[in-house]
Amino acid sequence: MRVLLLSMPDSSEHMPALAIRMPNGALASLAGNVDRHHEVAIADLILVHGAVRPTVERLLREGQPDVVGLSVMTFQRRTAQQIVRLIRAAMPAARIVVGGYDPSLAPEAYSGDDAVDFIVHGEGELTFRALLRALDGQGRVGDIAGLSWRDGQVMRANPARPVSGLDGNAIGPPNRAARVLRGYTLLGRQADVVETSRGCTFDCSFCSIIEMRGRNFHRFTFDRVLADIADARARGARSIFMVDDNITLDVARFAALCDAIVAAGLQDIDYTVQAMTAPLAQHGRTLVPLMQRAGFRYVFLGIENILEDDLLFLRARAKNALRDGGRTIGNAAITAIELLRAHGLLVVGGLIVGNPDDTPAAVEANLAFAARYVDWPYIQHPTPYPRTPMTLDFRRQGLIVSERPEAYDGTTAVVRSRHMSAEDVEFRRWRAERWMKVRHLPAVFRHDPAFVARHGMRMLRHTFRGSRLRTWLGLEDERQAFERYRAIREAEREYLAVG
């Protein structure tokens, strides 16, 4: 059976296609876990950001797939629906499957009369393998856990599939050889993704992970992880993003992994990882030096917010608490940041501004913190993703101002606070964050001078989209530049949906 797997081209403002084009690791994992007689092709459409439609048409024409799968996040929903219509028109007989966060948590958006044939809920490897077997005549789709399937005009949902344990051979390694497009990059270095664990046991109100898979934490063996890193490096990767949901849930394991990376001679890669502030603050004096030796460069730090009331709303207080003798004595963010910086690691600062009780002073306090303490800002607005506790809170309080999923990219404010409009929250983030990004360019230049020499001006133009000479000369209000920026973002979304 011929299978084409597509990830969507839409990118968030924090990950512009010019500088950051990461592969979809879930699709490579799907490709690695189907039966070997299938012919699988993976196309990450972020790599053809300016030529989505002709690329999809070419892949359909050349590959003649029997099954087309799409991985979709909420802000990519409209683009995915357009691509589904394109596939239907070009290849009416092809079976269309969708999976990922949005189809899993909002299946009703994919269940219309002209929509998809199958929805894979949650983890997809075992469900997708079973689906291909059923389409080959080995089993019934109605018996496949974790699958919704079209029965005439009705979409029927089978029972959920339990999450997979990762310490055995149930989930095989990814198949990177199935990728048919090239150009993955993180600031000029060929990039890839590796997964060492899955899941999280915290219940942050803004996060879809718990809704997707429950509160649990499973680990791959080190042999599997090291082989995966080696495979990515052998295929040219010099920058690897460890995409674990929460790798610092098990600090001892993470420390041992750092040692294992060095012992395997794999420390010549730039690693990026997501981490909580509290474990780094508590264990950083021993853990961070190990991370440095293993090659870690960027740490995405889940600071979330520096104000106690906002942390309570986000349900993120526990994972950001600095403790001494079992007592909470403050926020762990500054301690974690100082430890990382002392060993030369760079902090990607994940903060959320625009919560229900936020005032202009609260937003500005978080922005000032980011300007002082983080190297690369990743500041977002609370977003009502399907089925999260935050969404229920926002609906109850009547704070959601936009129901357009394509705007749910994290940097478009779609929720107001009780004291600020959504537009004002977004304007303040946009105004401050541009300069934080500029301040990070020297660090990028020192590490990858050729990339910055070639693309530095394009990066600056992207960062300051909407600004003109009149803006720089102070002859117009910055909000005019902001409105032009918002119009540019909207035009980009429109292009990706139909272009």
Q: How far is 195 from 183, CA to CA, in rounded Å?
A: 20
CA angle 140, 144, 149 (to 5 degrees): 80
Alpha-helical regions (H) of 270-307: 277-294
Count of positions (residues) in the chain? 499
Could you tell me if 4 and 69 are in contact, meaning their C-beta atoms sit under 8 angstroms apart?
Answer: yes
DSSP state of 400: B
Splitting the chain (499 residues) into consecutive groups of 10 residues, what average pLDDT does each group show? Answer: 96 87 97 97 94 96 98 96 94 96 95 86 97 96 97 93 87 97 95 96 83 89 98 98 96 98 98 94 96 97 76 56 52 90 96 93 93 94 93 94 95 96 97 95 93 92 93 92 94 69
Q: How far is 252 from 332, CA to CA, in rounded Å?
A: 19
How confident is the model at residue 313, as a pLDDT?
57
- Residue ranges of domains in the chain, CATH in brackets: 2-166 (3.40.50.2300), 188-464 (3.80.30.20)
Instruction: Output the pTM of the full model.
Output: 0.93
Burial class (CB in 10 A: 0-12, 13-18, 19+), 309: middle
How confident is the model at residue 322, as a pLDDT?
55
Could you tell me if 12 and 429 are in contact, meaning their C-beta atoms sit under 8 angstroms apart?
Answer: no
- Rounded to the nearest 10°, the torsion over CA 262, 268, 269, 273 is 40
How confident is the model at residue 318, as a pLDDT?
53
Longest dimension (CA), the chain: 70
Element (H, E) at 84: helix 77-90
How confident is the model at residue 409, as a pLDDT?
94
CB-CB neighbours of 169 under 10 Å: 9
- Residue 242's DSSP bridge partners are 194, 273
Q: What is the SS3 assignment for 475?
A: coil
How confident is the model at residue 113, as a pLDDT?
66
Element (H, E) at 299: strand 296-304
Could you tell me if 313 and 304 are in contact, meaning their C-beta atoms sit under 8 angstroms apart?
Answer: no
CB-CB neighbours of 299 under 10 Å: 24
Q: Tell me the one-letter amino acid at 348.
A: V
Q: Tell how strand 327-331 and strand 321-324 pair up.
A: antiparallel
Q: What is the SS3 assignment for 33?
A: coil
